[in-house]
Copies of this chain bind each other. A is one copy, B any other.
Amino acid sequence: MSAAQDSSPSTSEQPFSAESYFATQPPPPTLDADVRNVRSFVSQQVAVGRKVVLVTSGGTTVPLELNVVRFLDNFSAGTRGATSAEYFLRAGYAVIFMHRQHSLQPFSRHYSHSTNPFLDFLELEDAPQEQTDERTVIDHARPIITVHPSDPEHLRSVLSAYKAVQKAGTLHSVTFVTVNEYLWLLRAVSKELHLLGRNAMYYLAAAVSDFFLPREKMSEHKIQSGKGSLILEMDQVPKTLKPMVDEWTPEGFIVSFKLETDTTLLVPKARASLERYGHQVVIGNELHRRKFEVVFVSRSSSSSGIVGYDKPGFEETWLRIDEKASAGGKEIEEDIINELVTRHLSWIKSVNT
């Protein structure tokens, strides 16, 4: 099989730790400006005592060339993240929406240019008659544009939620394309949100590449074809949950996602992730059932929580909606966010008990 892992590293180098990653890979040029904007957004939310959630969304790319023509990508339109952001906003959170450029965004996601293309809503109509003294003028040359959505009620509701969020200033967007941009932003934004202590939630829904090509191994120009097969060897992306929990934002309420195509792997991999990184919740979802079914895996409240002493217990909570409800417009993200808001509140309160 060609798409295979090499179980014995073929290079003498160790896998990148987060520390060695940031020491060797260059920060994106827009990082400082992005961080300044996030800082100002966060301070506005702190001032009014609002909880803030970082929602990451969409897939990251791994460019194969410095002048990038080809890249490895992770499948994600950004539906989970964009939808969830809307429900967090509705629940009163301020949202930092850190997403892949051009992936779906809250509100506008309902009207992508493929589904419900908005030009189909618009009509040109002759401008209304103008009565000037004795002449009646119809302005055929400058017709007016009118809106005729297929579902006006829905557009009204999306639009009014969108305008309300704009007015309240509770949504702040940050974009990434490559996995390198994602990693630098995640660290920097987590450190900014650290200010909020337990009032910060991290909802890590982006589909982040597990592999990358270190800068020093990238080809400068487009890889030329016609010279036989292509062989790529990529390094592992460092795990970021560990330093998030240990250093960047120890008090944050951190929710990660596990996407698998083999359902039997979901719970064991989610448990392993909680044991390894010590964060709060893993949401497991199977690629084809992800709009109808997810599983929350967390440390059970009855366990001692002392890793290595006794085996900590885990608990699973399944959330399901049926496909009929989904076809009728019900979104599982509504239930996911409701559940998380409750758990986050307990997490905030637990520090005082």
Contact = CB atoms under 8 A, between A and B. Distances in A.
Interface string A277-300: 000000000011000000000000
A74 B222 CA distance: 11
Contact of A145 (B70, B74, B101, B156): B156
A69 B64 contact: no
Given A2-B213, A229-B9, A119 B112 contact: no
Given A70-B73, A145-B147, A230 B211 contact: yes
A105 B229 CA distance: 33
A15 B228 CA distance: 7
Contact of A3 (B3, B9, B152, B219): B219
A39 to B, nearest CB: 24
B69 A72 contact: no
Contacts of A109: 113
A143 B158 contact: no
A1 to B, nearest CB: 6
Contacts of A207: 69
Contacts of A67: 261, 287-288
Given A227-B5, A229-B6, A221 B102 contact: no
A345 interface: no
Most B-side CB within 10 Å, residue of A113, A122, A158: A113
B119 A159 contact: yes
Interface string A111-123: 1111001110011
A77 interface: yes
A75 B223 CA distance: 13
A74 B63 CA distance: 10
A70 B72 contact: yes
Given A2-B213, A65-B3, A159 B147 contact: no
Contact of A259 (B69, B119, B155, B231): B69
A222 B6 contact: no
A108 interface: yes
B287 A160 contact: no
B211 A229 contact: yes
Interface of A: 1-11, 15, 61, 64-65, 67-75, 77, 101-102, 104-105, 107-109, 111-114, 117-119, 122-124, 142-143, 145-147, 149, 152, 155-156, 158-160, 162-163, 207, 209-211, 213, 217-219, 221-237, 259-262, 287-288
Contacts of A158: 119
14 contacts: A3-B65, A3-B223, A5-B224, A8-B228, A67-B288, A70-B209, A142-B156, A145-B147, A145-B149, A211-B225, A211-B229, A229-B235, A231-B234, A232-B234
A33 to B, nearest CB: 18
A105 B199 CA distance: 42
Contacts of A2: 213, 217, 232-234
A161 to B, nearest CB: 10
A224 B211 CA distance: 11
Given A71-B72, A225-B211, A231 B119 contact: no
Contacts of A236: 225-226, 228-230
B65 A259 contact: no
A113 B122 contact: no
